Amino acid sequence: MFDNTAFAGHESAHHFFDAKTGLRAIIVIHSTVRGPAGGGCRMWSYATADDALVDALRLSEGMSYKNAMADLPLGGGKAVIWGNSKTDKTPEMFRALGRAIESLNGKYWSAEDVGVSVADMAYAAEETKYVAGLSTGKAASGDPSPVTAKGVFLGIKACALRAFGTDDLNGRHVAAQGVGHVGGYVCDHLAKAGAKLTIADVNQDTLNSVAKATGAKIVAPDEIYDVAADIFSPNALGAIVNPKTIDRIKAKVIAGGANNQLSTPDMGDKLREKGVLYAPDYVINGGGIINIAAEISGNYDPAWVEGKVQRLVETLGEVLDQAQREGRSTNRVADEMAIERIAR
C-alpha cells in the first residue's frame, strides 16, 4: 500500500473478509485530524483487489478534502465492497459490514454510496451505531442524494455565472453523465430551470424514467463526451476526465456530483489551458456529507444543513475566483485550501 501511487499519507487501511457472507471489504481512513473519518460505502465489481484498494485510497483522501471544504468536524474515510451490487447483496453481508465498522471503535462513520442503499445500511446499523444516512432513528435524515444534488445544481449556477455572465440556465444545454441517485435529482433541478438535457447511463430503466420526467435526449454512454453542450455534468464514477476524453469534451463548464473526476491532477491544468471552467468535485458535491454530518451530530437540523450548503456554494465561488485571479487550475487552488484547513 505504501508504494501505491494513490497513497497520500493515509492513517490506516483495513481489509475485512467474512467467509459466511462472502463480504470482501476495505475501509480506508485518510485523516482523523478534524474528527472521526466520514465517508460512504461503495459496492462495485472491481476488476482486481488492487483496483478496489486504489478506489478506497483516492475516495478517502477526497473525503478529507470534502469535509474540510464544507467546514465539518469530520476527517476522511471510505469503505468499498468488492462485489456485484445487483447479484451479491444479502442482509447478512451488510450485517458483517456493520461488525467491521464497529471494530474500528468510532474512527469511521459510514453511509450509502454507489451500489448501496438506505436499506442496505440499515442492516449494517443493526451491528454498529457508526452508520448514518438512515430512514429511522433519532436524527435520521434518509438518503443524502437530494441534498448532494441541490448543492451540485447551485454549483452549476455559480459556474455558469462566471463562464457565461449569467446564472440563468434557461436554454443552456447540459450533457449529464449518470442519472442515478444524485444525477437524477440534478436533472430534475436543471429541467425546472429550463435547461436542455442530453443524458447517458448504463441503466436503461433509469434513463427512460429521467428522460420521461425531464424531456431529455438519451445517448449511448460513450457518446456523452462528444455532445456539443454548454455544460458537462459528470454524476457517475470517477476519472472521466482523462487523456482519452479531455479533447472530446466540448463544454465550457464541467460541474457534477461524481467523485475523483480528474484521472490525474494535471488534467485540471489542461482544462484551464483549454478555457474550460472545472468545479472541483469534492467542493461542489459536499451537500450529502453535510446532511450526514447533521445526522451524526445526533440533532438533525434542516436549517443548519441549508446554511452549510449555501456556504459551500460560496466556497466554490471563492475557489473559482481565486483560480481566475492567479491564472491557476481550480483543482490546485482547492487542494491548497483543503490542506490548509486540515493543517489549521
pLDDT in tens, 63-88: 999 999 999 999 999 999 999 999 99
Tell me the C-alpha distance between 104 and 198, whole Å.
43
Contacts of 55 (CB under 8 A, 6+ apart): 42, 44, 46, 80, 238
Write out the residue limits of the CATH 3.40.50.720 domain(s) in the chain.
145-286+314-343
Query: Who wins on pLDDT, 237 or 23?
Result: 23
Could you write out the DSSP letters of every residue in 87-131? TS--HHHHHHHHHHHHTTTTSEEB-B-TT--HHHHHHHHTT-S-B
**By the 8 A CB rule, do 30 and 13 touch?**
no
325 burial level (CB within 10 Å; 0-12, 13-18, 19+): exposed
Q: What is the mean pLDDT of residues 130-150?
A: 88
Residue 170 has pLDDT above 90, yes or no: yes
Segment (H or E) for 246:
none
Confidence of residue 238 (pLDDT cuts 50, 70, 90): confident
**By the 8 A CB rule, do 133 and 144 touch?**
yes
Please give the DSSP secondary-structure letter assigned to residue 224. Answer: G
Tell me the C-alpha distance between 33 and 111, whole Å.
20
The reply to whether 129 belongs to the active site is no
Q: Which of 66, 78, 157, 196 is catalytic?
A: 78
Q: Report the percent of the chain where pLDDT is more than 70.
A: 100
Tell me the C-alpha distance between 111 and 289, whole Å.
9
Segment (H or E) for 318:
helix 302-326
pLDDT digits over 260-314, tens only? Answer: 999 999 999 999 999 999 999 999 999 999 999 999 998 889 999 999 999 999 9
pLDDT digits over 157-167, tens only? Answer: 999 999 999 99
Tell me the C-alpha distance between 111 and 99, whole Å.
14
- C-alpha atoms less than 13 angstroms from C-alpha of 317 in its C-beta half-sphere: 14
The CATH architecture of the domain made up of 145-286+314-343 is 3-Layer(aba) Sandwich (3.40)
Residue 138 has pLDDT above 80, yes or no: no
Residue 140 has pLDDT above 90, yes or no: no
Q: What is the mean pLDDT of residues 327-340?
A: 97
Tell me the C-alpha distance between 136 and 266, whole Å.
43
Tell me the C-alpha distance between 49 and 37, whole Å.
22
Write out the residue limits of the CATH 3.40.50.10860 domain(s) in the chain.
12-58+74-125
Tell me the C-alpha distance between 228 and 287, whole Å.
28
Q: Which fold has domain 12-58+74-125?
A: Rossmann fold (3.40.50)
Long-range contact list for 204-213, CB < 8 A, 24+ apart? 206/179, 206/180, 207/179, 209/184, 210/179, 210/183, 210/184, 213/187, 213/188
The predicted structure's pLDDT at residue 114:
87
Residue 31 grid coordinates:
485523516
Tell me the C-alpha distance between 10 and 5, whole Å.
12
Contacts of 316 (CB under 8 A, 6+ apart): 155, 158, 279, 280, 283, 284
